């Protein structure tokens, strides 16, 4: 035998095993572990919520980033995201926690809010996102106004409301959020609501009295602004407001130097 020729060896398990020897069907470990991951995330989120109970959100630098991480992850279940949104909505009733929430949401210029409202499929998640916005927006402050400008929520909510075949419960939640925002945002955001006023009126004619009341509240918050009052007065004369079961009285007070407005609002 040629000295350079390798002698044959006895086959072994190690030499036999190679890519050329297909082992047959195997388990997709990633797919198998997803339910476990979701369950663990759910337990972890519940643990964080319990652990920070009674403690201001601002007291920990980890809680809001964790909550945002759960909401933005595609590997976290709908149940976990709902738990987080419900906790944020509950926290939003407190002025200090509300400021912490809006500050965290503005940190990414509203990208998370946009994805939750426009890219998330389950209506329940979108509804609770609107609920968080409504409760946080109920607290007016100059600092909150500048933070809302970063998020630009009015445009997102109007875009959401213009989606075809939108669930009526989600429409109502979005309108409630808009109504709360119109007393808390700057003029640029209000301009979006004003531009969409007629669409909003047409939208809610067949909805619940609560949804119609939200549109009335939006119009009431807009009409006190000089730049919108004339246009809304014209809309009122054309009968637009009566479509949603409310009407606005805009009267000029004689003798006032700047033709000051006297505004009243009532539901029919």
Cα–Cα distance, 227 to 155 (Å, whole number): 19
User: Is 13 domain-assigned?
Assistant: no
In a domain, 211, yes or no: no
Q: What is the DSSP letter of 247?
A: E
137, 175 contact by CB (below 8 A) = no
Q: Whole-angstrom Cα distance, residue 173 to residue 134?
A: 8
Kind and range of the H or E run holding 241? none
- In a domain, residue 256? The reply is no
Residue 103 falls inside a structural domain = yes
Q: Which residues contact 37 (CB under 8 A, 6 or more apart)?
A: 75
pLDDT tier for residue 7 given thresholds of 50, 70 and 90: low
Q: What percent of the chain has pLDDT over 90?
A: 50
Which run of H or E residues covers position 4? Answer: none
- CB count within 10 Å of CB 142 equals 8
Residue 138 lies in a domain: yes
Work out the end-to-end distance of the chain between its first and last CA atoms, rounded to an integer number of angstroms: 108
User: Is the pLDDT at 148 greater than 70, yes or no?
Assistant: yes
- Is residue 125 within 8 Å of residue 82, measured between CB atoms? yes
| Residue pLDDT, tens place only, 66-103 | 999 999 998 999 999 999 999 999 999 999 999 999 99
167 close to 125: Cβ distance less than 8 angstroms? no
- 215 confidence band (pLDDT: 50, 70, 90): confident
Q: How far apart are CA 11 and CA 17, in angstroms?
A: 10
* Phi, psi angle pair for 140, to nearest 5°: -85, 135
64 belongs to a structural domain: yes
Full residue range of the structural domain in which residue 61 is found: 35-152
Instruction: Report the pLDDT value the prediction gives residue 25, as an integer from 0 to 100.
Output: 52
Render pLDDT for 36-69 as a digit per residue (tens, 0 to 9).
889 999 999 999 999 999 999 999 899 999 999 9
pLDDT of amino acid 68: 96
Structure tokens at 182: 């119109």
Q: Look over the chain and give the mean of its residue pLDDT values, rounded to a whole number.
A: 81
- What span, in angstroms and rounded, lies between the C-alpha atoms of 35 and 80? 12
User: 3-state secondary structure string, 76-107?
Assistant: CCHHHHHHHHHHHHHHCCCHHHHHHHHHHHHC
The predicted model gives 163-178 an average pLDDT of: 93
Among positive and negative, which fits the CA dihedral 232, 236, 240, 242? positive
Is residue 15 one of the residues assigned to a domain? no
Confidence of residue 260 (pLDDT cuts 50, 70, 90): very low
Q: What is the pTM of this model?
A: 0.80
Domain assignment present for residue 226? The answer is no
Q: Which of the 8 DSSP states describes residue 163?
A: S
Structural domains counted in the chain: 1
């Amino acid at each position: 035998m040629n000295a350079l020729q390798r002698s044959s060896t006895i086959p072994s398990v190690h030499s036999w095993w190679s890519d050329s020897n297909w082992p047959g069907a195997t388990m997709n470990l990633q797919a198998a572990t997803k339910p476990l991951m979701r369950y663990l995330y759910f337990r972890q989120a519940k643990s964080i919520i319990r652990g920070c109970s009674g403690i201001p959100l601002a007291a920990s630098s980890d809680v809001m980033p964790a909550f945002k991480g759960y909401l933005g992850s595609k590997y976290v279940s709908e149940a976990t995201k709902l738990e987080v949104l419900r906790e944020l909505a509950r926290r939003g009733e407190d002025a200090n926690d509300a400021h912490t929430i809006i500050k965290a949401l503005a940190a990414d210029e509203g990208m998370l809010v946009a994805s939750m409202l426009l890219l998330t499929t389950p209506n329940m998640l979108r509804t609770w996102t609107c609920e968080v916005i409504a409760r946080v927006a109920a607290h007016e402050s100059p600092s909150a106004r500048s933070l809302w400008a970063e998020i630009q929520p009015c445009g997102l909510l109007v875009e959401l409301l213009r989606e075809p075949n939108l669930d009526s419960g989600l429409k109502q939640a979005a309108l409630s959020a808009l109504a709360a925002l119109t007393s808390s945002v700057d003029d640029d955001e209000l301009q979006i609501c004003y531009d969409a006023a007629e669409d909003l009126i047409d939208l809610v004619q067949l909805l619940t009295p609560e949804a119609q009341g939200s549109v009335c509240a939006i119009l009431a918050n807009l009409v006190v602004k000089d730049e919108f009052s004339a246009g809304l007065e014209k809309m009122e004369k054309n009968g637009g407001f009566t479509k949603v079961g409310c009407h606005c009285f805009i009267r000029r007070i004689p003798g006032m130097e700047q033709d000051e407005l006297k505004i009243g609002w009532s539901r029919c």
